[in-house]
A and B are shown apart, each in its own frame.
Chain A
Amino acid sequence: MKSPEPAKPGMRRLVSRSAFALLSLSAAAMLGGCASATQSTPTASPSAAFKPAAQTAGSQITVWADSTRLPAVQQYQKSHPDVKMNIVTYDGSANGSTYLQTKVQLFDRTGNGWPDVVFGSPTDVTWASQPTSPSATAFAAPLDANLVPQQTLDGFAKGSLAPCQFNGHTYCLRNDIAQVVLWYNKTLMDKFGYQVPTTWEQYEALGEQVAKEHPGYLVGAVGDTNSQESYFWSSQCPAFQLEDPATLKVDLADGNCTRMATLLDKLIAAKAVTTQGFFSQGFAKDPGGSKVLMANGPSWYGQYLFNAAFKVPAGQIAAAAPLTWEGETTAATGNVGGGVWMVSSHSTNLKASTDLATWLTTSNDFQANAPTYPAYVPAAKAWLANPANSKYFATDISDVFQQAADLVWTGWSNTKFSDATAWSNVVLPALTQGKTLTETLPQWQTAITDEAKSVGYTIATK
């Protein structure tokens, strides 16, 4: 048992002595001429000097795909049994995940381990097209540098390769486009005797009418990680607008942003638009997909949301052209996702890797049955001609999809950070607490600019 005794003076002396040593050390460090702590910026156009790794013909290639694209890779393996492949499933950078970026950072430090072909989001290309550190090589190989013929690249839908292009090179092949259209339940609309809106003003009026006449039915949801792309991108809100590669314009006070915020606030207050997400836990059970009258969302909502998640019976769901604003002649629309395939610049079998990436994005064998709308134009035609892709819907969706694919507004740029982060952890919790979108816009503005500055952008607000 211990006897009550004050702390040893020796210990005190030790503590004070080491504290003094630490202080004098830091003082010395402060006084000394110190280098800047900022990260070095990679030199421009690194791809000009793209040097492939030593190639080994027929060597195994490692493929990372999300679970949705896995069958595609397996189909390729089946039809090309001589190609040695190691197929790995990962989250595919969905919902702002940074798994791929994290792993590549580590591989760049250890000097090995890179996958040869990866499926990712357009956001991934922003960092993959540049070296992660002064000694590293950019992860993505420039595909236009003698890998993929220019003729193939020209076959992609207008603007669909824009997220792949940096410094005049193309670093990825676009798998699918996710143009936003207006989805609606035709059976319900007919039953209620409603006209499908063509303008946002009509949409707003109909939403308020639904709230009065059929409470509980929804014309939209804003609680998903990508709802801002369905609504604010479609409204041409300059939230993520690159003026040049280093300057980002963020101006949520712009009329194009406030008009959408006001519209949604009215419909949220009327309970015609929910602050829950279509994909949030429990939505399919309560309130359930049968309560969704309309949904402004990407082309993949049809099969993914209504068919797979909500299990709405075939023959009920239809798509209408993107909404316009009164007084504006041409519609613009948003884009929600749309994956890309990248080939690693470290691959020792670039031939097989490039062949796989090309097949995945352009071959009708797979793309005609793809779960999403192909970015490669001939494949998109085959996709639309495939009855399996249209028989679920109440009306013909071909015209709407083709029209919307050309209307995607180009002012919402692909930035080095995900546009989902600030929306999900700043705007959505505020909405859940009952705040309006209009009063949350300044907070969203701050969150975007903080994040943009931390990855090196200069901010322009006007």
Chain B
Amino acid sequence: MTALNTGHEAVSSVTPVRRRAATRGRAGLAGYLFVSGYAILLLAFGIFPTVYAFFLALTNDRGQFTGLNQFIKVAQDYRFAPAFLNISLYLVMWLLSVVVLTVVVAIVLRSRMRPRLSAIFRFLYYLPGALAGVASVLVWLFMLDPAVSPVSWLLRSLGFADFAAVLSPGDLPVILVLIAFWTGAGGWIVVMYGALNNIPDEVLEAARTDGAGPWKTAWHIQIPMIRKWIAYMAILAFAGGTQLFVEPQMLQTASLGRVSPTWSPNQLAYVFAFQHGDFNGAAAISIFLLALGLICAALLVTRSDLFKVDES
């Protein structure tokens, strides 16, 4: 009995190691194959364009090396500061709302609602995200025009008599956050819900035994335990946010030009490239955006230990 026992123990302690080693060996090729599709696309549409952008940003249209002059030139452009101011305002509002609201909604769905009802809500929240970006802008153009909106009484009671009044420059960040939240938040609610599902029930039970109410549990247990997910969401939401283009561009066209054609830095880069024919200046703006995204990501990654692998 003892011998058998020890034998069994020995087996059980060895197999996992051996199995892991075996999978690793075979995984070599299969893994690379799985990754290759993405890696090739990343090289073709991510890395190569970035390198090309650096090349363009450091030269002029005659191919001469210009050092930082392209960056200085675009930074001194009269549209540069307003565009970056607009995008900063938008990012602050968008990040705050996406981080706070999705986490709160996910916690409510996870802890304060019956599972079936919660599933229905998750589906409903996700639905707008399934629409393409352009389609969702069209939906909002419809919603925000007092002449055709189903909630025109609300718009009128807020003092917006016509579409032009709704689109006044001060309201734009709010409108764009509304559109972005409506399309983007649902997916993140589902992801956060999944993250909360990962927290073992014993931990939550232990908290309850120790007398923690739902809000204390959320604040002290659930949120700290999904911190990495929140950081991950913040990085992606920030990167997506700095690249805002389709929404203001559509609003610009739909409002017959009442919205500035260079509202966001990405639009400014577009104008530089395709109206001034200045691809070098456009590349310099894109490098500014890249730097902004990298700095923010580096801060969040180091602060939240996002890339630390759990080995326990």
Contact = CB atoms under 8 A, between A and B. Distances in A.
Contact of B73 (A38, A95, A105, A428): A38
B69 A37 contact: yes
B310 A35 contact: no
Contacts of A453: 78
Contacts of A224: 256
Interface stretch (A2-10, A185-193, A210-218): A2-10
B130 to A, nearest CB: 27
Interface in A1-56: 1-3, 5, 7-8, 11-12, 15, 26, 29-30, 32, 34-40
A209 interface: no
B191 interface: no
Nearest to B310: A2
Contact of B61 (A98, A134, A276): A134
B292 interface: no
Contacts of B215: none
B305 A2 contact: yes
A101 to B, nearest CB: 6
Given A280-B164, A282-B145, A454-B78, A428 B258 contact: yes
B62 A454 contact: no
Contacts of B66: 34-37
Interface in A405-425: 420-421, 424-425
Contacts of B39: none
A345 to B, nearest CB: 16
B67 A39 contact: no
Interface in B44-77: 58-62, 64-70, 72-73, 77
B67 to A, nearest CB: 3
Given A1-B312, A7-B302, A36 B69 contact: yes
A424 B281 CA distance: 25
A112 B61 CA distance: 20
A98 B274 contact: yes
Nearest to A423: B257
A133 B61 contact: yes
A286 B258 contact: no
A424 B67 CA distance: 37
A160 to B, nearest CB: 26
Interface string B138-160: 00000001111000000000000
Nearest 8 CB-CB pairs, A to B?
Answer: A282-B147, A424-B257, A34-B67, A35-B64, A37-B69, A29-B67, A102-B274, A37-B73
Given A11-B302, A282-B146, 14 more contacts: A2-B228, A30-B67, A32-B65, A35-B60, A35-B66, A98-B275, A105-B273, A276-B162, A281-B163, A282-B147, A285-B147, A428-B164, A453-B78, A454-B276
